Structure 1
Amino acid sequence: MDTTLIEEYDLVVLGGGAVGENIADRAVRGGLTAVIVEHELLGGECSYWACMPSKALLRSPAALRAARNVAGAAEAVTGDLDVAAVLARRDRFTSNWSDDGQVAWARGAGIDLIRGHGRLSGIREVTVRTADGSTLVLTARHAVAIATGSDAAIPDIDGLREAKPWTSRDATSVREVPGSLAIIGGGVVAAEMATAFAAFGTQVTVIARGDLLSGAEPFARERVADSLRSQGVELLLHTDTARVLHGEHGVTVETVTGDAVGAERVLVATGRTPRSTDIGLETVGLTPGVWIDTDDTLRVPGFDWLYAVGDVNGRALLTHQGKYQARATGDVIAARANGTTVSDAAWGAHVATADHAAVPQVAFTDPEVASVGLTLAAAEAAGYRARAVDYELGWVAGASLHADDYRGQARMVVDEDRSVIIGATFVGPDVAELLHAATTAIVGEVPLDRLWHAVPAYPTVSEIWLRLLETYGRDSAARPDWIERGSDLHPIAA
């Protein structure tokens, strides 16, 4: 079949992951017509190969560790992790890799879906090669939004491609757990998958060119590395991979330092590359295969109709940031289509300014690492007169109740000139739930003297906020007057 049809919409979205879905939904809510072009599963990477399956794999081991760390519950735990049950639970969270539910949602939201590979073919035009071999030309009255995401990067290492390495997709959709796994890379994916597979009983070796979680605060890196080692994971850090040899029974990863790591499988977790190679960028004068630059309304400079949203623009490669961008983009496209003049200043609620300095992220390792904003090193490199305030999480009453011998650490990074928080990091069991308070404080630029009046409930782990402020106030001229008069609050007081 080779029939060419032409259809017109207000908005054409290239890519049907969570980002593309949110762009289309917001635009439709704004009164526009929208169509999504997707050649894989509607819902994209996060739903089927990243966020949801990876966290499902990690949650069961974390729950087992949590039970074993509380007396009374620990005595009730008599068995080991049931890996088959973990994989079955993962399958439920991916809907067994069926997007029927997402398709029904799109239909109910008034969004059209076209299955096929779409490419830009002109101004406000996308040509789609559909599964049945026909060609469909979509014209956009107002905008085309590129939301094609990113792929796992495969570095140019001798023999690696021939060894048919796993990427994160293979690791999160695994059907049979290997006895041994070599992981090349040291970022969040590498650390999380090392955590998961070690819990499954796999012998894991991590080979990283730099530190583990190199962008995190040093104490966070050290605690995660120590924990992985205690679980039997071998860490070869600051080590380059020289070559990968593929044999009948697995792979051998050779390093430049002479180590040879044998494993059944090798997982590559060395970053991402934009999915922009075969989407027709050259037809409008843009360069294929690179991250697509945008302004803070996610519009591509030089075009009044073209937007690039989510991973493909390289701003912040996280699902929640992509969805944040998508909401802004859909609203802005609808506003511009309806004749509203949009500027960054006038449209402050609908620009992606948080991408610059307030990006929250969680590594669901053991222990968890939750961070937002700048590390101390990044703040100093950016020219801030910054101060780090540290506190042991295990000293907080709520943490000691949460788990026996709770171990963790918190840090807030303060801009001393403005007396506001510009970064925060928490390391410890279940610290992900502390993160949004820090994000709110940073985005809202809440002065420290106001945060004193945000009283944390006792006894919760959130009491860490009081302890951080006390630690800051003891040595700061900015401390509240009532501390000068004498406080009855002390680091280990009830």
Structure 2
Amino acid sequence: MTEAVEYDVVVLGAGPVGENVADRTRAAGLSTAVVESELIGGECSYWACVPSKALLRPALARADARRVPGLSGAVQGPLDAKAVLARRDERVGDWDDTGQAEWLDSIGVRLYRGHGRLRGPRSVVVDGAEKEHHLLTARHAVVVATGSRAVLPDLPGLAGARPWTSREATSAREVPARLVVVGGGVVGVEMATAWQALGSRVTLLVRDGGVLPRMESFVGEHVVDALREAGADVRLNTSVAAVDRPGGSTGPVTVVLGDGGSVEADEVLFATGRAPRTDGIGLDSVGLADGSWLTVDDSCRVEGTDWLYAVGDVNHRALLTHQGKYQARIAGAAIAARAQQVPLLETDRWGAHSATADLAAVPQVVFSDPEAAAVGLSLAEAERAGHRVRAVDYDLGSVAGAGLYAEGYRGHARMIVDLDREVVLGVTFVGPGVGELLHSATVAVAGEVPIERLWHAVPAFPTISEVWLRLLEAYRG
């Protein structure tokens, strides 16, 4: 049976990004449907942000406690891995999306469970789980919010070795005695941190010279030092040539290295990149390449169309949940404005219909030990962009609040200042607890707050935030 229904907006994908754009369009009075083939809540809720942070929080809390005299002796034992995994399961709702589906219903959004694909402009076909078919048409917009997926390299033996990707790493039911992690990006570093703390003997293999390469180089240096101190075997400039698991999914796995050596483990995680989940959704029916990233304007409308939008990972602007949700709010406002035939959208740099923060002020926290947090441009990025800049550095351990936070606190801060406009272009922190410093930096960068005005934003004593005063003093001389 095929059911034909018309809506104002049809959204492909019910992760946090798809949920947010549906919420915004429905709040604007537009009838909205969402199509999802997996769990409502998407990658972030079940296999990424939420479960990974549930695994990491006990590790970071214990590490912080061990740095406080008078408390350190009480937390010297191992983590209760069973309890940590049980809390992880609770935080993801035991992979049951009933509550998320009920929320969509409560805001008046119609949910279609099944695989959705475009069939020409403004038309979506849904193949339902019960073999029913739906034909949805959109008066105003179809929004692609299908996210991204992990990519595995083409290596001999890998396909039969049943490797972990980020999904298996965040949902595993038991702690592997030995874990090899391939890749020095965010997923690799966070999962190495979590599973090492839970009792696994972790070997981290990084093909190039450092971890977290998109951040300032000092960040990776701090993180590598800490991982090694925690017992992880971190090998830089190390490539993987092949993987062998002769015993099947339950046997040990051998990772063959580019130099001819090898590492044996119980599981191997490949955290080596992501690709858009746009294959099989009918992009070719509207003249776009199947499986491609989607290029959008600042209102997140796909270039060359007046009805198709792409929000979140699929547009490749910033593969972060919070940025995808920001894009969803922008796209929702733009769709509503165009549906209401608003003659002139606010598309200036910080307008209501322009996602310019994806170009200037993207914040990210890596929940390693120590934490890493950055927003805006690094020094190298600022120089490549042609800005006349100055990098201002400060030892976070010298801030009074840091010394109270933890004995022997180690960390670093860098502020990138545009010398022509005297505004902050980027800020990077590394150290315990620095994730909570990041929003102040994001406000400074996004708001283009002049240095002379930041001087009057007084940080409370004795907090780690006092580093702002020290950075400004160093800049002013």
- Which TM class, normalised by the smaller chain length? over 0.9
User: Which residue number corresponds to residue 216 of structure 2?
Assistant: 217
Q: Does 1:42 align with 2:40?
A: yes
User: Which residue number corresponds to residue 427 of structure 2?
Assistant: 424
User: Which residue number corresponds to residue 393 of structure 2?
Assistant: 390
Identity among equivalent positions (%) equals 59
* Alpha-carbon distance in structure 1 between the residues aligned to 2:352 and 2:436: 25
Give 1:78 shift: 5.5
User: Which residue number corresponds to residue 239 of structure 2?
Assistant: 240
Give 1:142 shift: 0.6
User: Which residue number corresponds to residue 308 of structure 1?
Assistant: 310
* Alpha-carbon distance in structure 1 between the residues aligned to 2:335 and 2:52: 33
Q: Deviations over 1:399-457 (max 9, x none)?
A: 11111111111110111111111111111101000000001000111111110000011
Q: Deviations over 1:362-400 (max 9, x none)?
A: 110010000011111111111111111111111111111
Map 1:147-162; keep pairs closer than 5 Å.
147-162=145-160
Asked if the contact 2:204/2:233 (under 8 Å) is kept, the reply is: yes
Per the alignment, in what secondary structure is the counterpart of residue 257 of structure 1? coil
* Alpha-carbon distance in structure 2 between the residues aligned to 1:118 and 1:42: 14
The one-letter amino acid paired with 1:438 is A
Per the alignment, in what secondary structure is the counterpart of residue 245 of structure 2? strand
* Alpha-carbon distance in structure 2 between the residues aligned to 1:282 and 1:458: 58
User: Which residue number corresponds to residue 276 of structure 2?
Assistant: 274
Q: Does 1:52 align with 2:50?
A: yes
Q: Does 1:10 align with 2:13?
A: no
Q: Does 1:457 align with 2:456?
A: no
Asked if the contact 2:348/2:354 (under 8 Å) is kept, the reply is: no
Deviating above 4 A after TM superposition, structure 1's stretches of 4 or more consecutive aligned residues are: none
Give 1:347 shift: 7.7
The one-letter amino acid paired with 1:374 is L
Q: Does 1:295 align with 2:297?
A: yes
Asked if the contact 2:346/2:352 (under 8 Å) is kept, the reply is: no
* Alpha-carbon distance in structure 2 between the residues aligned to 1:471 and 1:78: 39
Give 1:259 shift: 2.1
User: Which residue number corresponds to residue 176 of structure 2?
Assistant: 178
Q: Deviations over 1:288-321 (max 9, x none)?
A: 1110100000001111110011001111000000
Give 1:463 shift: 0.5
* Alpha-carbon distance in structure 2 between the residues aligned to 1:382 and 1:441: 19
* Alpha-carbon distance in structure 2 between the residues aligned to 1:140 and 1:397: 58
Asked if the contact 2:350/2:356 (under 8 Å) is kept, the reply is: no
Once the two structures are overlaid, the 10-residue window that deviates more, 380-389 or 346-355, is 346-355
* Alpha-carbon distance in structure 1 between the residues aligned to 2:77 and 2:199: 14
Per the alignment, in what secondary structure is the counterpart of residue 45 of structure 2? helix
Length-normalised TM-score, structure 1:
0.94
RMSD: 1.1
Q: Deviations over 1:145-194 (max 9, x none)?
A: 00000000111122112211100000100101100111111100000000
* Alpha-carbon distance in structure 2 between the residues aligned to 1:370 and 1:131: 41
Asked if the contact 2:114/2:127 (under 8 Å) is kept, the reply is: yes
The one-letter amino acid paired with 1:251 is V
The one-letter amino acid paired with 2:324 is G
Length-normalised TM-score, structure 2:
0.97
Give 1:237 shift: 1.5
The one-letter amino acid paired with 1:217 is E
Q: Does 1:442 align with 2:441?
A: no
Map 1:184-263; keep pairs closer than 5 Å.
184-210=182-208, 211-248=210-247, 249-263=251-265
Q: Does 1:360 align with 2:363?
A: yes
Residues matched between the structures, number? 472
The one-letter amino acid paired with 2:244 is L
The one-letter amino acid paired with 2:401 is G
User: Which residue number corresponds to residue 322 of structure 2?
Assistant: 320
* Alpha-carbon distance in structure 2 between the residues aligned to 1:382 and 1:236: 32
Q: 103, 122, 125: which is aligned to 1:124?
A: 122
